[in-house]
Amino acid sequence: MGLLDCFRRVWRTGETEILPEAKYVDDNRDMWVINTVFKLPTGEIVAVYNDITIQKQHEAERSNLEIQFRQAQKMDTIGQLAGGIAHDFNNVLQAVLGYCSLLEAGIKGNSPLADYVREITAGANRAADLASQLLAFSRQQILQRHEIDVHEIITRTIKLVKPTIDENIRLRWHANPNPLIVNVDENYVEQVLMNLFLNALAAMDGHGILTISVNSETFEEEFLRNNPWAESGTFAVICVADTGTGMDELTLQRVFEPFFSTKEVGKGTGLGLSTAYGIVKQHEGFIHVESKPEVGSSFSIYLPLAEAPENLESPLEQDLTDVSSLKIFLVEDDPTVLRLTKFLLEEKDYIVVTAADGETAMDILEHDHSLFDILILDIMIPGRSGREVLKRYHELKPSGPAILMSGYSIDNLEVITEGTENVLFLQKPYAPDTMFQAISTILGESKKKE
C-alpha cells in the first residue's frame, strides 16, 4: 500500500488516513517517517510527515542493550554452573589420581596393570585440564598478578606460536610506541593470546594475514551507555585479526559459550574462547569481537591500564636484543645466505620478515613498514634496486636504521645513501658477531638521535 493509493482513497472517501511508519533512503540520509494524508475543504489533498528517525534510533539502541544484557546474564549463569561443576569434578579427580598413585606404587614387576593405571592417570589429568578451563571461564582461578608491559607478553606468545605458522600466512605485528602497563597474571593472559592466535590460524586454513596490534583507549560516556559490558577507564587494547572464514550473527552470539565450537569433532574442546572470556573478565577487562563470513574476525582484548613505573623504559629504550623491540626486515636474493641469516637472527629471538627481490621488498614495505625497527638489505638484488628499496624505506620511515651488505665493495656508498641517515655497510663475508654488533651500533645511534 503506497502513498499514491492512499491519496486516491482519501480523495474518494474524504477520510483522513495515517500510514504505517516507513523508511526512506536517499543519497543524503536514511529517514523514518509516519505520513498523515487528509482532504481540505477546498478539495485539495495534503500529506504531512512526522520524522521519527531519532525515536527509531533510540528503540534500536534499547533493543541492542537488552540483547547485550540478556547475553551477559546468560554468560554469568553458565559461568556459575560451570564453576560449581568444575569444583566438584576436581574433588572427584583428586580421589581418582590419588588412588591411581597408590595402585601404581603397589604394582610389582612388569604387570600390564601398570599400563592401565598410567592410562587412567593420563585421562584424569586431561579431565583436570578441562576442569581448569571451566574454572577460568567462571572467573574462579587464583591469579598471581604483577605489573608488566603487554608488549612483553605478546612478543613471548608470538615466539611460541611462530613455528606453527604456515609459510603462506603473513604475520603483521604493530606495537605501540609507548609501554602499556597492566596488572595481570601474565601466564593466563598468554593463554588467552595463544587461544586467539591458534583460532585465527585455524580460520585461515594456511593462507591469509594475521594482524596483531596494540593501542590504548579511554571510553567516553556515550560508548558506555551503548555497551553495558564495558567499564569506564583507560585500557590497553590487544587486537588479533585474521582474514579467515569469519562468523555469522548466530555464531557470534554463542562464540564464548563453553563447549560451543564450529570445528569438527575431535578438533577442539570448545573451551578456548570461553576460557579467554573468563580470564579477561577476571582481570576486570572484556573482549569485543567483530566478524563477517568470508572476510575474517577481529578479537579485541581490553585490559585496564596500571600506572607505569617511573623507571620503566619505553619499548625503544629497552635492551637492543629484546625481541619485543626488534623486528627485522631482511632483503637478500641468495637463498642460502637468506636462510642462514634468518636462522642466525631468529636464534637471537628477533622477529624476521624476508624478501628475495626488490619488487617483493617494495610491496612488503608499502603494507608493513611500521612493523620493522631495522632494514638489513643486500644492495645487489634483482628487480627494483637496493637503492630504490632503501629510498622508499626512508620515505616511509624517516631515519629508520638500515644495514646494507654486499659481496661487492661499495666505494660509492655515499651516493647510494644520499639523503638518508642511520646507515651502516657490511662487506661480505662477515662473521655473525659482526652483524650483531652492527645491529647494536646502528640502533644505539638511532636512540641517541631521538
- CATH at residue 385: 3.40.50.2300
Query: How is residue 111 written as a grid cell?
Result: 604387570
Can you give the pLDDT at residue 201? Answer: 92
21 and 112 fall within a common domain? no
- Higher-scoring residue by pLDDT: 223, 412: 223
For the chain, percent of residues with pLDDT exceeding 90:
15
Residue 140 has pLDDT above 60, yes or no: no
pLDDT at residue 450, rounded to an integer:
55
Place of cell 525515536: 55
Domain boundary among 304, 338, 360: 304
Question: Does residue 152 sit in the same domain as residue 296?
Answer: yes
> What pLDDT, on the 0 to 100 scale, is given for residue 84?
63
pLDDT of residue 196: 92
Q: Single out the residue of 393, 439, 388, 430 nearest to residue 409, CA to CA.
A: 430
Q: 277 with 176, same domain?
A: yes
Q: Note whether 293 and 250 are same-domain residues.
A: yes
Residue 216 falls within a domain, yes or no? yes
325 occurs within a structural domain: yes
| pLDDT above 80: residue 415 | no
| pLDDT value of residue 205 | 85
Are residue 225 and residue 326 in the same domain, yes or no? no
User: Quick check: is 68 in a domain?
Assistant: no
More confident residue, 377 or 407: 377
- Cα–Cα distances (Å) from 26 to 23, 29, 31, 59, in that order, read 10, 6, 9, 22
CATH number at residue 44: 3.30.1300
pLDDT confidence band for 407 (50 / 70 / 90): low
User: Which pLDDT band, with edges at 50, 70 and 90, does 282 fall under?
Assistant: confident
Using alpha carbons, select from 143, 136, 158, 125 the residue that is nearest to residue 256. 136
pLDDT at residue 166 tops 80: yes
| pLDDT reported for residue 212 | 93
Name the least confident of 51-60, 170-179, 242-251. 51-60
What is residue 66's predicted lDDT score, i.e. its pLDDT? 65
Residue 67 lies in a domain: no
CA end-to-end span of the chain: 69
Domain end, chosen from 94, 111, 137, is at 137
Instruction: Extract the C-alpha cell encoding 74.
Output: 546468560
pLDDT at 35: 87
Residue 57 counted as domain residue: no
- Cα–Cα distance for residue pair 230/72, rounded to 1 Å: 11
Are residue 181 and residue 203 in the same domain, yes or no?
A: yes
How much is the mean pLDDT over the chain? 79
Do 180 and 102 fall into the same domain? no
The number of folded domains in the chain is: 4
> Which range, 62-66, 111-115, 369-373, 400-404, has the best average confidence (pLDDT)?
400-404
CB 139 within 8 A of CB 282: yes
> 288: domain CATH number?
3.30.565.10
What confidence tier does 220 reach under pLDDT thresholds 50, 70, 90? confident
Q: What integer is the mean pLDDT of 255-276?
A: 66
The answer to the question of residue 272 being in a domain is: yes
Looking at the fold, whether 155 and 293 belong to one and the same domain comes out as yes
Q: Are residues 157 and 295 in the same domain?
A: yes
pLDDT computed for residue 150 by the predictor: 93
Q: Are residues 219 and 175 in the same domain?
A: yes
Domain shared by 37 and 95, yes or no:
no
Residue 256 structural domain: 146-304
The better pLDDT of the pair 209, 419 is held by 209
Q: pLDDT grade, residue 312 (50/70/90)?
A: very low
Q: Whole-model pTM?
A: 0.49
Instruction: Name which residue leads in pLDDT, 186 or 230.
Output: 186
With respect to residue 280, please indicate whether it lies within any of the assigned structural domains: yes
Same domain, 118 and 163: no
Structural domain includes residue 64: no
Burial label, 248 (beta-carbon count in 10 A; 0-12, 13-18, 19+): exposed
Average the pLDDT over each of 299-303, 326-330, 343-347 and give the range with the smallest value.
343-347
Lowest mean pLDDT among 87-96, 220-229, 306-315, 382-391: 306-315
Which is nearest to 301 in space by CA: 233, 255, 238? Answer: 238
For residues 372 and 140, give the distance between their C-alpha atoms in angstroms, rounded to a whole number. Answer: 40
- Residue 235: phi and psi, rounded to 5, are -125, 150
pLDDT of 417 reads 58
Least confident window among 35-44, 98-107, 269-278: 269-278
Residue 243 has a pLDDT of 94
